[in-house]
């Protein structure tokens, strides 16, 4: 049965993962990830935890699909019940 998640609350912890690419750490846009993290913290009071491999860059993650899968497994298996947000770059925006 599908379990509907509760709403995010102040001081909840979310995990950022990069299941399709690692652009969040690439040199030309790596400034956007901390900006998004700071906005989540400042505006919503959320704690942000990157998945272990999510910030290793697109070159590393392109060569290591197992690392991307491990990040998703890590996030879903985390006993702290993390919420999960994909960090990805599209059309000039880094969505965190």
| In the block, residue with structure tokens 């690692």 | 22
Please say if the pLDDT value at position 92 is more than 70. Answer: no
Q: Is the pLDDT of residue 75 over 70?
A: yes
Residue 1 domain flag: no
Cross-strand partners of 14:
48, 83
* CATH code for the domain of 67: 3.40.50.10740
Assess if residue 50 is contained within a domain. yes
> What is the pTM assigned to this prediction?
0.76
Residue 49 falls inside a structural domain: yes
The confidence band for 89, taking pLDDT boundaries of 50, 70 and 90, is: low
Name the region of 76 (left: φ>0; alpha: ψ -120 to 50; beta: rest). Answer: alpha
Structural domain includes residue 90: yes
Alpha carbon distance 22, 20 (integer Å): 7
- Do residues 96 and 33 touch, judged by C-beta distance below 8 A? yes
Domain of 23 in residue numbering reads as 13-95
In a domain, 81, yes or no: yes
Tell me whether residue 26 is in a domain. Answer: yes
pLDDT at 38: 92
Mean pLDDT of 11-34: 82
Residue 51 lies in a domain: yes
Q: What's the total number of domains in the chain?
A: 1
Torsion of CA 40, 66, 24, 96, to 10 degrees: -30
Give residue-wise pLDDT tens across range 28-70.
Answer: 777 888 888 999 899 999 999 999 998 898 889 889 999 999 9
Vertex 34 angle, CA 32 and 38, to 5°: 115
Helix (H) or strand (E) holding 57: none
Q: Is residue 2 part of a domain?
A: no
């Amino acid at each position: 049965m599908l379990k509907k998640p509760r709403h995010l609350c102040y001081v909840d912890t979310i995990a950022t993962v990069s299941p399709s690419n690692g652009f969040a750490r690439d040199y030309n846009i790596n400034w956007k990830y901390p900006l998004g993290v700071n906005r989540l913290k400042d505006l919503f009071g959320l704690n942000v935890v990157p998945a272990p491999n999510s910030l290793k860059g697109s070159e590393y993650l392109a060569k290591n699909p197992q690392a991307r899968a491990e990040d998703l497994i890590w996030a879903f298996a985390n006993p702290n019940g993390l919420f999960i947000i994909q960090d990805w770059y599209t059309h000039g925006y880094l969505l965190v």
